[in-house]
Amino acid sequence: MDFKSLVENTRSVRRFKENESVSKQDLYDLVELARLAPSGRNLQPLKFLLSNEQSKNDLIFSTLSWAGYLEHWNGPGKGEKPAAYIVVLMDKSLTDKTIDHGFAAQNIILGARDKGLGTCILKSFEQYELAGKLSLPDNMEILLVIALGRPLEEVVIEPVKDNDIKYWRDENDVFHVPKRSLDELIIE
């Protein structure tokens, strides 16, 4: 798949084939891609907690919030939960702020898609509860949680209509994501 196609086909997935595992090696491969991402001042403050075990996955899942625009959906149900997670952490002993997690996350999700995996980057989670459940030291701050697994849903890009950017699911459970046009984004 060429790079543009890879980007076009890398969409947030919120329902997964929970029983199809993601290997530790796949998780290590994705963190290797994150490791190679740019780093401000080359501080490299990111650390990564990996989970592909049901008990740890359950701990992580219990602290997450899913799909704010889908008001009547509480997240993946039985059999639809992620098979793995990468929790992106900042080592505060190295710095107290970073933008590196954006670069790293993009590398992870593109690499995951290349492996046939779906992902969802989550920023909506119970920070202190999750840190406690994972027994993280005080110097580790959770920046993102990346859910991974084999996609259970189809996601399509739609043009934005009437300035409505809210994503939705249709009657066939196809997930629609409106995107602004290129003309709307470029200012000359």
Does 113 share its domain with 177? Answer: no
pLDDT band at 29 (very low <50, low <70, confident <90, very high): very high
Sign of the CA dihedral running 100, 86, 74, 153:
positive
**Angle, vertex CA 119, rays to CA 115 and CA 125, nearest 5:** 150
User: Contacts from 164-170 at CB under 8 Å and sequence distance 24+?
Assistant: 166/69, 167/67, 167/69, 167/70, 168/69, 168/70, 169/70, 169/73
Give tens-digit pLDDT for 159-173. Answer: 999 999 999 999 999
Please check whether residue 148 is in contact with residue 22, taking contact to mean a CB–CB distance below 8 angstroms: yes
Does 74 share its domain with 115? Answer: yes
Does 46 share its domain with 110? Answer: yes
Quote the domain boundaries for residue 93.
Answer: 3-152
Does 146 share its domain with 179? Answer: no
Q: What is the pTM of this model?
A: 0.95
Does 128 share its domain with 175? Answer: no
Give the pLDDT confidence score for residue 71 in this predicted structure. Answer: 86
Does 159 share its domain with 144? Answer: no
Give tens-digit pLDDT for 104-161. Answer: 999 999 999 999 999 999 999 999 999 999 999 999 999 999 999 999 999 999 999 9
Does 117 share its domain with 133? Answer: yes
- Cα torsion 73, 135, 18, 80 to 10°: value is 0
Q: What is the CATH number of the domain that holds 53?
A: 3.40.109.10
Does 9 share its domain with 96? Answer: yes
What proportions of the chain, in percent to the nearest 5, are helix, strand and coil? 30, 25, 45
Q: Specify the number of domains making up the chain.
A: 2
* pLDDT above 90 (res 1): no
Does 124 share its domain with 99? Answer: yes
* pLDDT above 90 (res 72): no
* pLDDT above 90 (res 31): yes
Does 139 share its domain with 188? Answer: no
pLDDT band at 80 (very low <50, low <70, confident <90, very high): very high
Does 99 share its domain with 173? Answer: no
Our measurement of the distance from residue 20's CA atom to the centroid of its chain's CA atoms, rounded to an integer in Å, reads: 18
Q: What is the CATH number of the domain that holds 168?
A: 2.20.180.10
Does 39 share its domain with 94? Answer: yes
